[in-house]
Amino acid sequence: MSGGGQAHRWIAPAQLSHGAISAAIADPIQKRGPGKLWFYALLATLPFVLVTLGAIGAVLTVGIGLSGVNTTVVWGFSIANYVWWIGIGNAGTLISSMLLLTRQRWRASINRFAEAMTLFAAGIAGIFPIIHLGRPLYAYWLAPYPNTMDLWPQWRSALVWDFWAILSYILFSALFWFTGLLPDLATMRDRATTRRGQLIYGALALGWRNSARHWQVYETYHKTMAALAVPLVCSVHSIVGLDFAASLMPGWQESIFPPYFVVGAMYSGFAMVVVIAIFVRWGLRLQSVITPAHFDVMGKVMLFASVVMTLSYATEWFMAWYGGEHPDRDVVRYFFEGDYRWFYYALIACNCVVPQALWFPFARRNLWVLAGISVVINIGMWLERILIVWNTLSHGHAMSLWRTYHTSLYDLAILFGPLGLFVLGFLVLVRIFPIVSMHEVRQISHDEGAAA
């Protein structure tokens, strides 16, 4: 599916000139003030940010006992949140790289904030494994740093693989996002009217002069990075999947986990991109560059992911029965009949049933409906992650220690608080950097033959 053949599909015809595109994206930052709404939004995120910081401070001083984890269910919200946020973080790079490589031109308008979303989400995700530790101050022991006792991490542990996966993913995402921003930073520098703006954007643009040679190097570099990103996107969530799969617990020890986690990540990531796109489009008045066609395509991707997820769940149930092992069968029975069954039914409704509405073009094009479905998918995917943790640990091999999780106030704080942190990141970002890639949209408008 390429936008080339169909004129003006990915960009509204009214604002097709390069100048108009740049103005539409850069002016809200450089010419217009932040506006009341922005301040209100910023104010609204503050309680969440404070709750997050307070919760982190509390868990560092009082101990991980604040969480609802117990002797049997030793993992809880921190792990589920981690997997959820890293899943959200997956979509940005996926959109940037995989769609770039497959020449999905429509990605141009959304890849920038999708990448930013990746960066924030992966950053937030990175907090959770640390605050989930009993002794967070020693988190660095997972790194192979030189020490007098010649101690190394234990390479067979999936957690060490995970440490590298998320570290390289965050570094890569930051690099990819920043270098992708260079031409736009140069544009910002050139459009800046204040000395300070010229200096800051100028420094960040790293001397981009828009020369043909720059563009040639940039294109090569960007494609290479994109090619590198694809395996990385897959690896990061595969390895998160291995955190569970490389165990011997029923419900975790499944070879389907890595691909299933990658698709799940894409699923929730796209859902989050849709939500953010709707907000960005409305808040920054970018209706001209983020068009209904974008939402239509993303809706189809979510539909596809939904079908794959449903198949994955079905495979899990089938394999538990077909494998015939008592613990595996029993844990699946526990999904449906156990202590968390209502959550499980909710998860199936959210991830498998509701998104089937996306078969209908109306649902994909009506932003209210699409936003609703996306939120539902994100709730469903969080439920999936917490249930992976809860179901297996609550109902393991040792029947005498079967028990449930005891959700605490701290758990709720670290569940909802970081959402504010995430929004805060975006609010700051939209005031500093172009939230849509100007040079890539210009490229599209050029390709679509609209640019003067």
DSSP state of 404: -
Q: How far is the CB of 169 from another protein (least distance, A)?
A: 17
- Sort 400 into a burial class: Cβ within 10 Å, 0-12 / 13-18 / 19+: exposed
Q: How far is the CB of 238 from another protein (least distance, A)?
A: 17
Token pair, residue 110, equals 């959304």
Cβ of 362: how many Cβ atoms within 10 Å?
Answer: 10
**Distance, CA of 318 to CA of 307 (rounded, Å):** 16
Q: How far is the CB of 234 from another protein (least distance, A)?
A: 22
Please say which residue, 251 or 434, places its beta carbon nearer to another protein: 251
Phi, psi angle pair for 257, to nearest 5°:
-55, -50
CB 377 within 8 A of CB 304: no
Phi, psi angle pair for 404, to nearest 5°:
-105, 170
The residue ranges that bind another protein (CB under 8 A) are 62-65, 67-75, 132-136, 138-139, 141-142, 151-154, 156-160, 163, 243, 246-249, 326, 330, 393, 396-406
**Distance, CA of 15 to CA of 17 (rounded, Å):** 6
Please say which residue, 285 or 326, places its beta carbon nearer to another protein: 326
Please say which residue, 71 or 193, places its beta carbon nearer to another protein: 71
- Sort 43 into a burial class: Cβ within 10 Å, 0-12 / 13-18 / 19+: exposed
Q: How far is the CB of 379 from another protein (least distance, A)?
A: 25
Torsion sign, CA atoms 367, 370, 376, 380: negative
**Distance, CA of 377 to CA of 56 (rounded, Å):** 27
Q: How far is the CB of 66 from another protein (least distance, A)?
A: 9
Please say which residue, 19 or 65, places its beta carbon nearer to another protein: 65
Q: How far is the CB of 396 from another protein (least distance, A)?
A: 6
Please say which residue, 2 or 157, places its beta carbon nearer to another protein: 157
CB 410 within 8 A of CB 55: yes
Radius of gyration of the chain (CA): 23
Please say which residue, 115 or 328, places its beta carbon nearer to another protein: 328
Q: Which of 298, 285, 266 is nearest to 381 (CA)?
A: 266
Please say which residue, 218 or 402, places its beta carbon nearer to another protein: 402
Please say which residue, 68 or 372, places its beta carbon nearer to another protein: 68
Q: How far is the CB of 83 from another protein (least distance, A)?
A: 14
Q: How far is the CB of 332 from another protein (least distance, A)?
A: 14
**Distance, CA of 374 to CA of 368 (rounded, Å):** 10
